[in-house]
Amino acid sequence: MTPEAFVARVSAAHPGDTDGLLALLDSGMLDAQGILAILGKTEGNGCVNDFTRGYATLALRSALTERLGRAPRADLALVMSGGTEGGLSPHLLIFGKRAATAPAGGKRLAIGVAHTPVLQPEDIGRSGQLDATIAAVHAAMRDAGIDTADDVHYVQVKCPLLTMARIEAAQARGRNVATHDTYASMGLSRGASALGVAVALGELPRGRIADADICHDWSLYTGRAATSAGVELMHNEIMVLGNSPRWGGTLAIAHRVMGDAIDAPAVWGALADLGIEARGQVDDAARERIVAVLAKAEASSSGRIRGARHIMWDDSDIHATRHARALVGGVIAGVIGGTQLFVSGGAEHQGPDGGGPVAVIARV
């Protein structure tokens, strides 16, 4: 069978909203079995106590279970990313696979998914998590039928974080953890996962990375991962997006690396790779071709953007990741002319310091 990737973007009225998903299933365009992953931007704070991710996950899983009459496939990835600061609009990106009549005759969007085994609290932010991620990315590439890392444009990873309870559990077993700061654990988890992708895609040699480099040596990064941490899981969920000649359909993906948070030209570059030549803001016709925009946002560790001071790290009311998502969301919205953008925060080792990958999926 020739597979065809299916990507739908549906609005979410609140984190427990499953109406968009159910309407899609009702439409007959995709059956519930064909769903490989759902990425959601939810309106929590994207930090430790963001329970909108767990809520959305529970709601989506319950809705699918009710629709299917049984639990959904074990490898279904539900990747909720909290934080819709600025003008970002809560939405779901539903990724599926269905049968195409034939390959498209060119490279088309290909999707593969995989999970790591359950991680222990003491693995988070360390080699244990990193190595498990490498294996899972390779498994997801095989699942996608993508042979070469060059054809991978985006790897979405959902990863766990430490809570007080998890830290205590590890300590009760005589293990230490990478950090006692629950908020900091989110960064370490995202960072270790990103470096796992970098190794898996050949961007960095495994031997180059020691545990002490994680969230420390920012010269080490991948240009093609988005990792996001949530309290509701204890393993890494992986989805690989790339282009493959074996797939049918009309979708393709491209990416660029934003050199800093205001690198709008990177967005124009990714659009151009998909044949969308925009001068200034994308026009209505081109905007209709765009199915999904995915990007990582991060506050530069220098405290500056092109020499001008930002206050993200010194703000004790609003976390730096929240500022960064708002900023990058604004930069991309100005180019795209829309706000249903999957901008997630915490870009540790995902793109250069202060920057991050941006990927666009569009009809070609």
Of 3, 86, 230, 355, which lies in the binding site for its own copies, with binding defined by CB under 8 A?
Answer: 86
Contact letters for its own copies, residues 199-218 (x by CB under 8 A): --------------------
Assess contact for 10 and 23: CB atoms under 8 A: yes
- Alpha carbon 172 to its chain's center: 33
- Dist CA 97 CA 32 (whole Å): 10
DSSP state of 48: T
Contact letters for its own copies, residues 286-325 (x by CB under 8 A): ---------------xxx-xx-xxxxxxxxxxxx--xxx-
Total residues in contact with its own copies, by rule CB under 8 A: 80
326 counts as binding its own copies under rule CB under 8 A: yes
72 counts as binding its own copies under rule CB under 8 A: no
- Residue 195 or 297: the one with the smaller Cβ distance to its own copies is 297
Assess contact for 94 and 35: CB atoms under 8 A: yes
- Residue 29 or 311: the one with the smaller Cβ distance to its own copies is 311
The H-or-E segment that residue 296 falls in is strand 290-297
- Residue 1 or 279: the one with the smaller Cβ distance to its own copies is 279
The bridge status of strand 237-244 relative to strand 108-115 is: antiparallel
- Dist CA 36 CA 269 (whole Å): 28
Of 40, 248, 329, 351, which lies in the binding site for its own copies, with binding defined by CB under 8 A?
Answer: 329
Contact letters for its own copies, residues 231-260 (x by CB under 8 A): xx----------------------------
179 counts as binding its own copies under rule CB under 8 A: no
355 counts as binding its own copies under rule CB under 8 A: no
The terminus-to-terminus CA distance of the chain in angstroms comes to: 22
- Dist CA 312 CA 307 (whole Å): 14
